[in-house]
Structure 1
Amino acid sequence: MKGIKIGNSRVLESRESADGITIRRRRETPDGKRFTTYERIERPNLAVIKSSGARELFERAKLANSIRRSVGKFFKSEVELEEIIDAVEDRAHSLGESEIESRLIGEFVLDELAKRNEVAYVRFASVFQKFKTLDDFVKILEQRRQKGQE
C-alpha cells in the first residue's frame, strides 16, 4: 500500500501468535484504509560460522532460500516453511551463544524436516551432507528407518 504511514494509523486489534514471537496488528489510517502489520520480537544478532571459518550474520531469508532450493515444493504452504525457520532460529538462540556453526543450523533443519516430511528430509540431507553416490542415499534412508523403529 503506497503512501500509508504507520505512525498516523491507529491499532484496531492486536493478537499475539501461538509461538509468542509475532504480534499481528490490524490498523486503520485517518482516511479509513485498513491494513495489517506483523511485528516480530527483535533478538540479538547471531553470527553464523561457515565451514570456511568466515562469519556472517544469521539471515532468515537466506535460510529459507537454502531450504527451498534443496527441498523443492514439499511444503503445504509458506507458513510451514516459516514454522521450520522459527523452530531452527529458536533452537539456535536457545543455546545462549552469539555464534553458531552453520553445520549445527543444518542439523536443526534436518530435525525439523524429519518431523514433517521424509522426502524433504532426504533431499535436504543430500545437499547439506553433499551426497556423491547412491550409497549415501541408502545410508540416510537406513538411518531414518532405524530411528522410526526406536
Structure 2
Amino acid sequence: MTSDTEHPAEARGRSETADQRADRRFTDILQELRVTLTGTQLTSGFLLAVAFQSGFKDLTHDLRVHYLVLVGLAALATVLGLTPVLVHRLNSGKQIKDRVVRVANRLLIATLVVVSLLVIGVTSFIFEVVVSAVAGLWAAAVSVVVLLVLWGIAAAAHRIDGESVH
C-alpha cells in the first residue's frame, strides 16, 4: 500500500527522492490552488458588486439570505485556499514536507468542495433573480448533477489500475 505522498504511477514512472516527490507534489498543489483561487476571486468580486447595484435593495429577504450565504462561502473558499501557504510557511525548514503535502492536499480538496458549492449557489441565485425561484432550484439541481457526474468520472479515473490522475 502506498502513502498519501506516493502513488503507484509515481513510484514506477519517476526516479526521484521522497523529498523531490514532496516538493513536486506541493508545487502541483500550489498551481491548482492558483487556478482555484483565481476563480474564487472573480466570483467574490461579482458577489461584492451585486450588493452595490441599485436593484439590490429590491431583493426579497430570502434572496438576501441566499446572497449572504454565497458571500460566506466565497470567504470560506478564499481562506481555505490560502491556508496551505500558511501551513507551508509555518513549517518551512522543519523537514516535514511530506506532512505539509498531506495537509495541503486535504485543504485543497476542502477548497474544491466549498468552491463547488459556491458555483452551484451562484448559478441558482442568478437564475432565481433573473427568472424565478423555481428556475433557481432547477439550476441548482442541474449543477449538482453535473458536478456529481464529473466528480464520479474523476474518481473512476483515479481508481483505474490504482493510479491517480495527475
> Same fold by TM-score, threshold 0.5 exceeded?
no
Higher RCO (CA-CA < 8 Å; seq separation 6+)? 2
TM-score normalised by length of structure 1: 0.28
Which one has the bigger strand percentage? 1
